[in-house]
Chain A
Amino acid sequence: MGDLSLAAVLPQIFTGLVLGMIFVLLAIGLSLIFGLMTVVNFSHGALYMLGAYFTVFVLTYTRSFWLALVVAPIIVGTLGLLVERFLIRRLYGRSPDDPLLLTFGLSLVLIETAKLIWGKVGLTLDPPRELAGAVNLGFMAFPAYRLFVIGVTVAVLIGLWAFVTRTNIGLIIRAGSRDPLMVRALGINLNRIWLLVFGIGCGLAGLAGALAGPMRGAYAEMGVTMVIESFVVVVVGGMGSLLGAVVAGIMIGQVVGITTFFAPKLAEIMVFVVMAVVLLIRPSGIFGEAGLAE
């Protein structure tokens, strides 16, 4: 099954890290949305896909990958704002399963619409010239673009952390996750906060798609398995916990990478096995709080 020397395992760790970064971006969005609004956003995978598609779209008109990387997530985030304002908001006060079901239907609609607009085959998306080569890391030649993905994600995470811990809005978001009743009693308009959070969460999904596109190509079904795996990450990390999303995302990325190396046939199922084991040992995920989702 391959030798166990550091030189052989290190590449797997690195590639697992990149995978993990994508999971982290998706999981943070999901976790933010769930933690604050108790909404399970099933359309996250479709939004991820749209992130990739919009990147191609912007790229076609501006010829700048960097611009596309900024604009595409903003477009997806704006779409998220509209979805929250006009669709999900109608469901507050009803069964918590309803937003899940609605977003499930929404994902079907988004995928089909993407196919109608951009065709069935998918779109080519290449990394920009500057990132096209490989970087010599000593133990392997690692694609530069993948290093870029790691870098961008870390930067975004730092920005998010600063936002959540240093700004007033971030404070409200954290307070709102812990005790929405109290926050409302203090006269704060939670509706606007929820709108913002949903938009940010969707924007993060779009960013994940924009980053993943040049690695795997952009095609309509690209989010279908990702959404399930992202849910697994969120559940493992603990729904509502941002730190959990980060830790679980990286962890699951590594699990997939290492399983692929030692036992490729098991790679698919490992994610679910890990989730089942974690849930049975720690009921609310690694960092989750009991009662949040029950």
Chain B
Amino acid sequence: MRVLGPVFAAVGRHPVLAFAIFFAAFPFLVPYKALAAQVLIFGLVALGFNLLYGYTGLLSFGHAAYYGLGAYGTGILLAKVKIGSLWLGLAAGPLLAMLGGAVIGFFCLRRRGIYFAMLTLAFAQLLYFVAFHLAEVTGGDDGLRGIPQLPLNLFGWTFKLDGTLAFYYFAYAVVVLAVAGLKRILDSPFGTVLQAIRENGDRAAACGYDVNRIRHLSFVFSAMFAGLAGGLDALRLAVVPVESLYWTTSGQIVIMTLLGGAGTFFGPFVGAGTYLVLEDRLSVFTESWPLVIGLIFMTFVLFLPRGVWGTLVERLSVTPRAPEAPAPAAAPSPARRI
């Protein structure tokens, strides 16, 4: 136990580096390599969601929309438009997701609390419906198929991404960059204001910050990360299923983030890893694995609200630089204050 304290402190000082080191070895730590890429990608979605929920205090029920927009953006450009470039295809995902986030965020942020959450859900379902019925563009409920496995062209070298490990390290490079990007965002004045808004929106406004605009920006960034993950997933699966946009996917994202620890830096990845590995291994043994997952989730909500990572950090009583947050405070109902 004693050796973990300094390790944690070191991790806290250099979170991106720690992340990069750990995930470089990750494929060899999980039961099978193809699971590693899935964890990486869903960790990224959860990372995006966490920016909005854990750091800005807004619970979105419709984050599948941005993951899905990212997947379809990349998928359509590569499979239908046949653009032929991996970089352009991958870039289209987060761009489309950001656009979606900007538009949807604009409407949803007019409301708060449960109404905000329901509006995000409504828009996500709307997107699902559109994708379901616009079959010529999206493949409809059969999904978008035929996404080609393009090689990576970098500085004149060509890397084939066919193999599981090859693709994993490509996704790894992208995700590390994204995580570094998030760190920049959180460390910047913008990031600090975000957390100020989460703690007390009125006071932040009183300090002169344009709270709504900042929330909106956070929404867009959050959508960007989720969209990037979606784009990567489209490449990984070679299909984009329409369920990517369904509310159950949004639910999974919420579960992963909470399981890991909302408002913590590594929480999303820990949560994604825990959830996906658990689901993978449990479903081999029993058909009732949702029961086990549900029970575990309930246990966490009841007794370990900080999630796996959040609780770990708390118990080890180390305050790393990685921001740690108490449960996000939307206005509590008056009865709770007693």
Determine direct contact between A and B, CB below 8 Å. Answer: yes
Interface positions of A (Cβ within 8 A of B)? 34, 37-38, 40, 87, 90-98, 101-102, 104-109, 111-113, 115-116, 179-181, 184, 190, 228, 231-232, 235, 239, 265, 268-269, 272-273, 275-276, 279-280, 283-285, 293-294
Chain B residues near A37 (CB, 8 Å)?
A: 333, 335
Given contacts A97-B327, A280-B110, A293-B112, 18 further A-B contacts (CB under 8 A): A37-B333, A93-B336, A95-B305, A95-B328, A96-B333, A97-B328, A101-B301, A108-B290, A109-B294, A112-B291, A184-B335, A235-B118, A273-B122, A275-B118, A275-B122, A280-B119, A294-B112, A294-B330
User: Would you call A40 and B114 a contact (CB within 8 A)?
Assistant: yes
Partner among A97, A106, A116 whose Cβ is within 8 Å of the Cβ of B298: A106
Give Cα distance in the complex from A275 to B123, angstroms: 10
Classify the secondary structure of A's interface with B.
helix
Q: Which of B3-11, B125-133, B154-162, B205-213 contacts A (4 or more CB under 8 A)?
A: B125-133
In the complex, residue of chain A having the shortest beta-carbon distance to the beta carbon of B331: A294
Please indicate the chain B residues that have their CB under 8 angstroms from the CB of A113 in the complex: 291
Residues of chain B in range 319-338 having any CB-CB distance to chain A below 8 Å: 327-338
Tell me the bound Cα distance from A283 to B329 in angstroms.
21
**Residues of chain B having any CB pair with chain A under 8 Å:** 59, 107, 110-115, 118-119, 121-123, 125-126, 129, 133, 247, 251, 254-255, 258, 288, 290-291, 293-295, 297-298, 301-302, 305, 327-338
A283–B129 CB distance below 8 A: no
Q: How many A-B residue pairs have CB under 8 A?
A: 138
Distance A269 CA – B133 CA, assembled complex (angstroms): 11
- Contacting pair A228 B121 (CB below 8 A): yes
On chain B, the residues within 8 Å of A98 by CB distance are: 301, 305, 327
Residue of B nearest to A109 (CB): B294
B332 contact from A40, A96, A109, A239, Cβ within 8 A = A96
Q: Which of B122, B129, B337 contacts A268 (CB 8 A)?
A: B129
Expressed in whole angstroms, the Cα–Cα distance for A283 and B133 within the complex equals 30
List B contacts of A107 (CB < 8 A): 294
Whether A108 lies near B288 (C-beta < 8 A) is no
Specify which of A111, A190, A284 is in contact with B115 (CB 8 Å cutoff): A284
Q: Is the CB of B125 within 8 A of A105?
A: no
Given contacts A108-B291, A269-B125, A94 and B110 within 8 Å (CB-CB): no
Whether the pair B294, A235 counts as a contact (CB closer than 8 A) is no
**A116 close to B288 (CB less than 8 A):** yes
* CB neighbours of B336 from chain A (8 A): 38, 92-94, 96
Please determine whether A276 and B119 come into contact, CB atoms closer than 8 angstroms: yes
A97-B125 contact, Cβ under 8 Å, with A112-B291, A275-B118: no
The minimal Cβ–Cβ distance linking A268 to chain B, given in whole angstroms, is 6
- A94–B266 Cα distance when bound, in Å, is 23
Which B residues lie within 8 Å of A93 (CB)? 336
List 10 A-B residue pairs with CB atoms under 8 Å apart, sorted by A's residue number. A38-B336, A40-B114, A97-B327, A101-B258, A104-B255, A112-B294, A116-B288, A272-B125, A273-B126, A279-B115
Residues of A within 8 A of B255 (CB): 104-105
B335 close to A276 (CB less than 8 A): no
User: Within 8 Å CB of A272, what residues of B?
Assistant: 121-122, 125-126, 129
